[in-house]
Amino acid sequence: MIIRSKAPLRLGLAGGGTDVSPYSDLFGGAILNATISLYAYTTIEPTDDGKITFQMPDKGISETYDTTLALPTDGQFILHKGVYNRIVKDFIHKPLSFRLSTYVDAPAGSGLGTSSTLVVSILGAFVEWFKLPLGEYDTAQLAYQIERSDLAMAGGKQDQYAATFGGFNFMEFFDKDKVIVNPLRVRQQFQDELAHNLLLFYTQTSRQSAKIIEAQAKNVIDKNQTSIEAMHHLKEQAIWMKECILKGETDKMGEILNFGWTYKKQMTQNITNPLLDEIYKTAIDAGASGGKVSGAGGGGFMSFYCPGISRYAVEAALQKFGGQAKRYEFTQEGLKTWTQN
């Protein structure tokens, strides 16, 4: 028997950072994101050899342990172990023996929610294996708890829900980890136009998002008004973006993205740097009407709205930075699991 799962990565389109505590707890957050045709994959092969093996075939690394109720959360497979420990603790109550392999279509630190999406994918495979009674909200919330509470990794709340639900979603965040996911009915022609015009560019850099997020949280705790006001504006941006996408007013995207970029940089230091600023300016000079850095900032992917046929000129202008434009489509489905006997 082979158990498989895949969960889509996401593009954060507006409101980024307002899903992070304590801002979301104090003021409420709002995010608009959409999943794309890049995925985190998981395969579980049950065994009877009393071993637990984790593998990343693309990186050529693996770790093997004697089966146990709880694995040490260190090494290369922290996320994998965190999911295993929680599954055994909450549902199975006995050691398991298996081989688990994962693969992600984008590198870690790229700003597309890779870590959280991988947790959702791994969790989904275990849910499929044992037919656990978890709905979409249950799965996303458990993935969030594993990453943020069990493993003490800093971050927001949007990625786990995006990966689980899929599609275009307007998400609202409240105190005590309450999340409401509002799926948006976006016409296919608007999705196609947006995918054509929204250039996704990998800067060939990565970043430690946890440090940026921790600094952002500290600014809220310290009542840094510049940072807090910037987050208020980003929440407004999410509402503005929702209206734009639902009405199909795609050529307003650049203006909305540029509005968000202006305030995103005021949330905390290290969201941008001289390289990212130069990339942004180069894209605008070549015809883009606005853009943003993906995720917490500091590196990874950037996206630029390129009206008309300007994406080709923008793509050519960005070649000098040695990065790569990534083709994608928007997806409607979130986490998918299946079993091959």
**Spacing of C-alpha 232 from chain mean position:** 21
Cα-trace Rg, the chain? 20
Measured from the Cβ of residue 105, the count of other Cβ atoms closer than 10 Å reads 20
- Classify strands 51-56 and 98-104 as parallel, antiparallel or unpaired: parallel
| Marked catalytic residue, from 66, 74, 159, 277 | 159
The two structure tokens encoding residue 135:
């709905």
Residue 159 designated active-site: yes
- Put the strands of the sheet holding 290-293 in their side by side order: 290-293, 301-305, 198-202, 324-326
Residue with tokens 């007013």: 249
Helix residue spans in the chain (DSSP H): 23-27, 78-87, 114-130, 136-145, 158-165, 188-197, 209-221, 225-247, 253-264, 274-285, 310-318
Helices 114-130 and 136-145, axial angle in degrees (round to 10): 120
Query: What are the C-alpha distances in Å from 85 to residues 50, 113, 148, 156?
Result: 16, 22, 14, 22
Phi, psi at residue 132, to the nearest 5°?
A: -75, 145
Helices 310-318 and 274-285, axial angle in degrees (round to 10): 150
DSSP secondary structure of 24-77:
HHHH-EEEEEEEEEEEEEEEEEE-SSSEEEEEETTTTEEEEEE--S---S-GGG
Residue type, 218: K
Is the CB of residue 110 less than 8 Å from the CB of residue 12? no
Catalytic residues: 159
